[in-house]
Amino acid sequence: MEPSDELTPSRERPHPPVQGPAAWARRAARSVPQGRAARIFLLVAFVDAAGRGIFLAGSALFYTQVIGLSNAQVGLGLSIAGLVGLVCAIPIGWLADRFGDGPVLVALQLWRAAAFLVYPLVDDFGLFLVVACLVGAVEWAAMPIIQSVAGATSEEGSMVEAMAVVAVARNSAYALSALAATAVITWASPRAYVVFVLFNALGFFVSGMLLLRLRLPRRAVDHGAKGSAASKLLPFRDVRFLLLSVTNGILYAHMPILSVAFPLWVVTRTDAPRALVGVALTINTVMAVMLQIRLSKGGDDLGHAGRKQRLAGLALAAFCVLVAFTRSVDALTATVLLLLAAVALTLGELWQSAGGWGISYGLAPEAQRTYYLSVYQLGATGCTVAGPAVLVMAVVDVGPAGWAGLAAVLALTGLVTPALTRPPRHKAAVAPAPAD
């Protein structure tokens, strides 16, 4: 007979589990990878994001107050640079498979460091366009390689969880660098905004040097197909893979929603305080850091990854519905609805990223992993390039009906994705039946 709690000496009673920030800190510490390569790459990701975060926080001020560009010139130049990146991403992904993710990523980091060192010399739109295109040419190619390297450093563990840890490190760096940029903007003169560019160049250079210490396990290479036209066309012949790239791209709308559509809606279409935009960004960052790893668990299974994207579509649809109701309500009600919407948007972001990583890892053959990841990234890249204009014209300017239409698109996309992750019937038919 077991002794009762009352008769158990206090020194023998089990301690209740620690909850709150301390528990989260312990879980985060356990999530830090043990392998040398994984730890080095985690530092690379943090340094890279720290420099990039400071630049992004002050880039608009640098472009307009240091170079002297108009808002229209900035928008046009960055759009053209985005299109250049869209074209270059896939060839660079193919090069990473052929010559190695590590060496190619080092080259990209040093390329970007050199390009950003030229930015302080820019004094007109023409030169700005040239430098922006040099940066844009490698901008979208870097993320698939980062994802491939994160998976390679997982040491037979979960590649999705490894990527989630990298994402947490990057989001933490973005948050800290945004605070640093805010201090510069608050206390420094416009001439000091050049520090945003120089710090970003330094981040790229330091991360590139750290990558030289990275020793990645060699991936299998299909020597028979290497360099052949047939191998380059394989992902484009897989209709299911391309459709999943499109669905991932549609769900990736949370990025331009958070950066463009949501702020514009709050400021121009609701009675909520403008400061709510900053509060929503804070909620997004804190939730991303605290929940990304937990919500990514199980994402390596293709079926689970598809269901995560279904949850993403439904959460993003709920966000749109909540925002749609803020058009004609009082300030307090609008504030409450928008805060709830920020939570739903962040959950959608975390499920979308985890599901996207799982799907792309699961469908990319090892010998061509980075090339396949680059093709899969096309959907998200296209959303980033076209999303802001589409969201402003078809959603923000239209009003509640526009948000309702977007909710329907996102929900339908989420519901369709799990069906696309199932193996084709002809492949399932030849699989051996499980033993009784």
DSSP per-residue codes, 163-212: HHHHHHHHHHHHHHHHHHHHHHHHHS-GGGGHHHHHHHHHHHHHHHHHHT
For residue 141 the two structure tokens come to 């190619």
Q: pTM of the full predicted structure?
A: 0.84
**Nearest alpha carbon to residue 93 among 369, 381, 366:** 369
Task: Give the position of tokens 């290497």.
Answer: 226
3-class SS at 15? coil
Residue 258 DSSP symbol: I
Q: Are 327 and 370 in contact (CB under 8 A)?
A: no
3-class SS at 275? coil
Q: How many CB atoms lie within 10 A of CB 367?
A: 17
pLDDT value, residue 1: 43
Q: How far is CA 103 from CA 167, 214, 223, 244, 369, in A?
A: 22, 10, 19, 29, 16
List domains and CATH numbers for the chain. Answer: 34-211 (1.20.1250.20), 231-422 (1.20.1250)
Q: How many residues does the chain have?
A: 436
pLDDT digits (tens, 9 = 90+) for 73-99: 888 888 899 889 889 999 999 999 888
Containing 401, the helix (H) or strand (E) segment is: helix 400-421
3-class SS at 17? coil
* Dihedral angle sign, alpha carbons of residues 4, 9, 14, 15: positive
Q: Are 145 and 108 in contact (CB under 8 A)?
A: yes
Q: Are 37 and 158 in contact (CB under 8 A)?
A: no
| Rounded Cα gap, residues 29 and 10, in angstroms | 29
Residue 363 DSSP symbol: H
pLDDT value, residue 410: 98
Please provide residue 205's backbone torsions phi and psi, each rounded to the nearest 5 degrees.
-65, -45
pLDDT value, residue 103: 92
Q: How far is CA 199 from CA 334, 347, 369, in A?
A: 39, 31, 32
pLDDT value, residue 19: 54
pLDDT value, residue 16: 52
Q: How many CB atoms lie within 10 A of CB 331?
A: 13
For residue 128 the two structure tokens come to 């700005």
pLDDT digits (tens, 9 = 90+) for 391-435: 999 999 999 999 999 999 999 999 999 999 987 665 544 444 444
**Nearest alpha carbon to residue 230 among 379, 424, 368:** 368
For residue 424 the two structure tokens come to 């084709």
Which residues, other chains included, contact 87 with Cβ-Cβ below 8 Å and sequence gap of 6+? none
Which residues in the chain come in under a pLDDT of 50? 1-14, 223-225, 428-436
Q: How far is CA 183 from CA 66, 171, 180, 186, in A?
A: 18, 19, 5, 5
| Rounded Cα gap, residues 236 and 240, in angstroms | 10
